Amino acid sequence: MADYMPHTPDEISEMLGFLGMTSVDELFVAIPAALQLGRALNLPDGHSEPDVRADFQAYARRNSGASSTLLCFAGAGSYDHEIPPVVKALGSRSEFVTAYTPYQPEVAQGVLQAVFEFQTMVARLAGLPISNASLYDGAASLVEAVNLTAASSGNPVVWISSGVQPHWRQVLATFAEGTGHDIRDVPLRNGQADFSSMTGTPGVIVVANPTYLGTLDDVEGAKALALQHGAKLVVAADPITASLLKSPGSQGADVVIGEGQALGTPLSFGGPYLGLFACADAELRRLPGRLVGETLDVDGTRAYVTTLRAREQDIRREKATSNVCSNQTLMAVWAAIQLGWLGTKGIREVALRSIQGTRYLRDELIKIDGVEALTGDAPVTRDAAVVLPISASLAIERLAEEGFLAGISVSALTGGGDRSIDASVVENTLLVAATEKRTRVEIDALVAATEKIVR
């Protein structure tokens, strides 16, 4: 893209003349005076382009990120995984640089086939027959899953495990203000959703596998409870961990959702991310977003097209089952390349090394005097929560000075905590994660630095 080129006075006059106006101010005469600022903007004088560039480069140097100066041990849904060069080389081709699933199959067979392969691999990880062509992120997938399953069950009451990623739950609560869904948080006990205190009849039950604390909800127990109440079961699953666990679909999930960032998307200040969504055959007509299908063209050659689009808002308008019009095709293509490159054996190795690294990190941290595991002896997978003798936010700040992005403050992540975590320890709870990129030497270095700062 070329540099910004402002309009010349002659060009502005020409455009105004075409509109029958004499000044730019006439464009805004319809705005009431009470709504106008009435004064000049409080902006500094202009600077030369080199001076502005130098200022922004100075701002950039104040940032420290996982890809530059800090060893990353943060997780909670976004992870610092290895991205092979082949993923970057193929995924960065100009043919794939789009957020949209193409409508014109005659000119987009390559992208459509890549998305079809993505759907196939996501469906295999989920253990369900149908996957869509992706959504914006895990939070969007959760909202769409609740919309679909509540409509399917006919009951707007949603029981959601407090182990589901807190930001996702916040997004769901925001949308529920408009949709009218009754969202009820299920507390955790020993790292699992504890339904014993819940009353009433749910239409949807949502559990996490794993939870944001790294523990595992009882998916089969949640399915039995769903059957008892005639409810639908949604499982928020991590695609990497899913390669080692029984698939949610095999345990009875009606819908499986997840965040696909771990599948080839680098950490990048919060996005773009990739929403994963898979469902049972019974929910196919309500499936949100795009769906790519395989067919034959007039010559009998295998071909790919978008299909079942009559359920979407641009076709059915107010009768649509979802208002999602776009998706994350570029990130889905990257995920397909990453999954294809790793294969079944490779993704299991990534998962195993990540889980082993996280468990080793937790076990070494709790050897430090005053450090305890938040969830006791409960097994951990992707993440682990430890309680420090000092504030987690202070520890993160101090450890950044030592060269580590040490983790995430659970208090900050949850907005002050929830009823699943004792209020007396939430401020001191640190959530850590170690992917396959983290070596034992790096983990030991973080433990040594942690011991130093807590003393």
Residues linked to residue 209 through DSSP beta bridges, in sequence order: 237
Q: What's the CA gap between 293 and 318, in Å, rounded?
A: 25
Contacts of 331 (CB under 8 A, 6+ apart): 134, 260, 261, 264, 265, 272, 273, 274
Residues linked to residue 306 through DSSP beta bridges, in sequence order: 292
Residue type (1 letter), 286 = R
What pTM value is reported for the model? 0.86
pLDDT for the residue numbered 1: 38
Residue/partner pairs of 254-258 with CB below 8 Å, 24 or more apart: 254/149, 254/152, 254/279, 254/280, 254/282, 254/283, 255/128, 255/145, 255/148, 255/149, 255/279, 255/280, 255/283, 256/126, 256/127, 256/128, 257/138, 257/141, 257/142, 257/144, 257/145, 258/126, 258/138, 258/141
DSSP for residue 243: G
Domain with CATH 3.40.640.10 in the chain: 85-336
Q: What's the CA gap between 239 and 131, in Å, rounded?
A: 13
- Of 20, 123, 189, nearest in space to 339 by CA: 123
Token output for 399:
């450890």
Residues linked to residue 285 through DSSP beta bridges, in sequence order: none
pLDDT for the residue numbered 240: 97
Provide block-wise average pLDDT over 10 residues at a time, the chain (455 residues).
Answer: 70 94 91 88 84 86 72 95 93 86 86 96 98 96 97 97 97 95 95 95 97 96 98 98 97 98 91 95 92 94 90 76 84 96 96 98 97 93 97 97 96 86 93 97 98 94
Residue type (1 letter), 156 = P
DSSP assignments along 142-208, one per residue: HHHHHHHHHHHHT--EEEEETTS-HHHHHHHHHHHHHH--EEEEEPEETTEE-GGG--S--SEEEEE
Query: In this structure, are residues 125 and 270 in contact, taking their beta carbons and an 8 Å threshold?
Result: no
Cα angle 365, 366, 369 (rounded to 5 degrees) comes to 100
pLDDT for the residue numbered 394: 97
Q: What is the domain class of 71-83+343-454 according to CATH?
A: alpha beta
- Of 381, 373, 363, 374, nearest in space to 242 by CA: 381
Contacts of 158 (CB under 8 A, 6+ apart): 146, 150, 172, 176, 181, 182, 183, 184, 202, 203, 204, 205, 206
Residues linked to residue 352 through DSSP beta bridges, in sequence order: none
Place of tokens 């050897």: 367
- Residue 191 falls in which region: left (phi positive, over 0), alpha (psi -120 to 50) or beta: left
Q: What's the CA gap between 18 and 427, in Å, rounded?
A: 62
Residue 221, φ and ψ in degrees, nearest 5: -65, -40
Query: In this structure, are residues 320 and 313 in contact, taking their beta carbons and an 8 Å threshold?
Result: yes
Domain with CATH 3.90.1150.10 in the chain: 71-83+343-454
Q: How many helices (H) and strands (E) does the chain have?
A: 12, 17
- Return the SS3 of 275: strand
- The architecture that CATH gives domain 85-336 is 3-Layer(aba) Sandwich (3.40)
Q: What's the CA gap between 303 and 297, in Å, rounded?
A: 6
Q: Write the secondary structure of 355-422 as one string of H (helix), E (strand) and C (coil).
A: HHHHHHHHHHHCCCCCCEECCCCCCCCCCEEEECCCCHHHHHHHHHHCCEECCEEHHHHHCCCCCCCC
